[in-house]
Structure 1
Amino acid sequence: MTGNQPEHQQTAHEPKHKKDLTRRKVVVAGAGAAVAVGAAGTLAASGAFAGEKSTAASASGTSTAAGTCYKLTSETTEGPYYIDADKLRRDITEDKEGIPLTLALKVIDSETCKPLRNAAVDIWHCDALGLYSGYESFSQGGGTAPTDAPSGTPTDTPSGTPTGEPPSGAPSGGTGGGGGHEEPTSDTRYLRGTWRTDKHGLVTFKTIFPGWYQGRCVHIHTKVHVGGEWTDAGYEGGTTCHTGQLFFAEEAVLASAEVEPYSTSTTTRTTLTEDTIYDQSGTTGGLLKLKYHKKDIAKGVQASLTLGVDPDATNEGTS
């Protein structure tokens, strides 16, 4: 963990054909953290995508009839709670309680269907009660009211024109999907991580099933970075070619809501069809493929998705 903010400047070794390059650096505790995905992670991810025969055929060069071979995964806003590549790791759980979740993502070029090797993939999401690490004072999950919330009935009517700058910070409950970036207010970094894709474009994370908070359905944020360099210190340079969000089917969310600590949440839940960020386009929009025991989701969930991206594009998700 580090309190230093990431640097954002161009360096001489960065590719000349890339535009809007940003310098990214991951500070990693201990030596040898930036290593290839282990055999166990590769097997888990490979199994999650065993049924995608058409994509595999295209990636090997045996099928690209006309146009794109895979739809571009929807781009979304990064939300206010992104912390730039703060932790290089696959297990992002730390000590957070919740339903175990294994998330397997395959990143491919949507034009050629070839896997993107050595891409850096970020994921981050709230805990079982809606709190984001680094932003507990903003996100205020679990239905907790802000400490300075007004009470009672106003005794007079405001008049005149407001002066000065509007207050900063996210409203109670947060948005997690819109609004400008906020600077972290704490040093916590649970449920955040960055890892590299293997030669098959696969990356696997171990985490927990996210909870929910005011105004948003259950989701996970993600970014894909390409053109950078993996070093002993982490990942540097390159561009962000994809910023998206990953979503969960209502059936699974309803099942999770029966399990502690999710069941203790007092926050009104926004459904998948009510969400303002999810575009209702299924897997193209980030809807995850889920596997779990229908009668006992507490045992764990396996989630997977193929992300079709344009490696030559820049999609920071900040506009």
Structure 2
Amino acid sequence: MTRDQTAQGPQGERNVTRRKVIVAGGAAVAAVSVGGTIAATANAAQQAAASGSASGEACYRLTSETTEGPYYIDADKLRQDITEDREGIPLTLRLKVIDSETCKPVRNAAVDIWHCDALGLYSGYEDSSGGGGTPLTGAPTDAPTGTPTDAPTGPPPGGGGGHQEPTDDERYLRGTWRTDKKGFVTFRTVFPGWYRGRCVHIHTKVHVGGTWTDAGYEGGTTCHTGQFFFDEESVLASAEVEPYSTSTTERTTLTEDTIYDQSGTAGGLLKLTYRKNAIGRGVLGTITMGVDPEATHEGTDL
């Protein structure tokens, strides 16, 4: 399918929205180390990936498309370190983007990521995100009792629904960076927390066909909108570390989540590497995303 065909719909030709990523302070933020162990692991992963490319890489299925969610902000900062002042377990996120049909790397794509902080708050939406509940002691085991009497407020607990306009000027844990010639992009952030109705996750978009300028990234189309997920073992381990351990928000498990399709890597499940019983020192998360560069997936109609 060509881009022209993809752009056509029942209502006629689709207008491609111009997007512009603003460079914070006129320059990209330098990446910071998350500890010798994780840095060494990331380097080893990069070398292994390069070796795999040379020997032939198995083709990937298309990575699952998901809803954009209510907290996306178009015009994020062009940077690899998105942590700002947020406390939490250091997370190095190393992503690879490939064409799912040819298995060739998608170079110069703009990859967005955004997620909540350790206590479930999204920048730009601190007044409306987050929630309350009981302290985390493991997977939820009790079924709810009684009949709800109050109309729900705030965003849908499943993370879907239409886009909401930002309520504040904060932009932590949001950023955009380009894939290299091998399709790789790396971000520095913190392990996300959880909030009402959703398991631990990170949102992502992949944009292609645009132009990189001194001001950022302009034009193009969004060929993938998805989410990355974390296994239960790692989430329970993170819950023993501050500030996650102070959360009073009831947690939704991976198997209970309404967005994750339970398909493993194809559904966005990250491969996580960290020192057992010492997750607080840092985590490396890796995944290969199989996308269709000719498609358009904004994630607003799911």
> What is the distance in 1 between the residues matched to 2:92 and 2:132?
24
The 3 A distance-change label for structure 1 pair 260 and 142 is: farther
Alignment of 1:194-213 (within 5 A): 194-213=176-195
TM-score, L = length of structure 2: 0.82
Aligned counterpart, 2:20: 25
- Establish whether residue 307 from structure 1 lines up as the match of residue 254 from structure 2: no
The 3 A distance-change label for structure 1 pair 118 and 81 is: same
Q: Deviations over 1:148-179 (max 9, x none)?
A: xxxxxxxxx99xxxxxxx99x734xx636201
Aligned counterpart, 2:200: 218
RMSD: 3.0
The 3 A distance-change label for structure 1 pair 74 and 267 is: same
Contact 2:118 2:194 in 1 (8 A): yes
Structure 2: 5+ residue stretches without partners: 8-13, 33-38, 135-148
Contact 1:129 1:141 in 2 (8 A): no
> What is the distance in 2 between the residues matched to 1:202 and 1:293?
24
> What is the distance in 1 between the residues matched to 2:220 and 2:158?
25
> What is the distance in 1 between the residues matched to 2:101 and 2:40?
26
- Superposition deviation, residue 56 in structure 1: 5.3
* Residue of 123, 135, 144 corresponding to 1:133: 123
- Superposition deviation, residue 48 in structure 1: 2.5
Contact 1:88 1:194 in 2 (8 A): yes
| Paired amino acid for 2:114 | W
* Residue of 262, 269, 272 corresponding to 2:251: 269
- What is the SS of the residue equivalent to 1:244? strand
- Superposition deviation, residue 70 in structure 1: 1.5
Q: Percent identity?
A: 73
Aligned counterpart, 2:44: 47
TM-score, L = length of structure 1: 0.78
> What is the distance in 2 between the residues matched to 1:135 and 1:143?
19
> What is the distance in 1 between the residues matched to 2:93 and 2:181?
18
> What is the distance in 2 between the residues matched to 1:44 and 1:107?
20
> What is the distance in 2 between the residues matched to 1:122 and 1:75?
14
Q: Deviations over 1:104-160 (max 9, x none)?
A: 00000000111011000000000000000000111134559xxxxxxxxxxxx99xx
Contact 2:6 2:296 in 1 (8 A): no
Aligned counterpart, 2:261: 279
> What is the distance in 1 between the residues matched to 2:291 and 2:54?
16
| Paired amino acid for 1:28 | V
The 3 A distance-change label for structure 1 pair 132 and 207 is: same
Q: Deviations over 1:51-103 (max 9, x none)?
A: 556665446xxx8xxxxx22110000010000013110000000000000000
- Establish whether residue 234 from structure 1 lines up as the match of residue 216 from structure 2: yes
Aligned counterpart, 1:81: 71
- What is the SS of the residue equivalent to 1:48? helix
The 3 A distance-change label for structure 1 pair 79 and 58 is: same
> What is the distance in 1 between the residues matched to 2:53 and 2:60?
8
> What is the distance in 2 between the residues matched to 1:227 and 1:57?
29
- Establish whether residue 93 from structure 1 lines up as the match of residue 83 from structure 2: yes
- Establish whether residue 170 from structure 1 lines up as the match of residue 150 from structure 2: no
* Residue of 148, 160, 169 corresponding to 1:187: 169
Larger Rg: 1
> What is the distance in 1 between the residues matched to 2:170 and 2:220?
26
Aligned counterpart, 1:161: none
- What is the SS of the residue equivalent to 1:138? coil
Contact 2:158 2:259 in 1 (8 A): no
> What is the distance in 1 between the residues matched to 2:127 and 2:289?
32
- Establish whether residue 256 from structure 1 lines up as the match of residue 238 from structure 2: yes
| Paired amino acid for 1:255 | A
Q: Deviations over 1:171-223 (max 9, x none)?
A: 4xx63620100000000000000000000100000000000001100000000
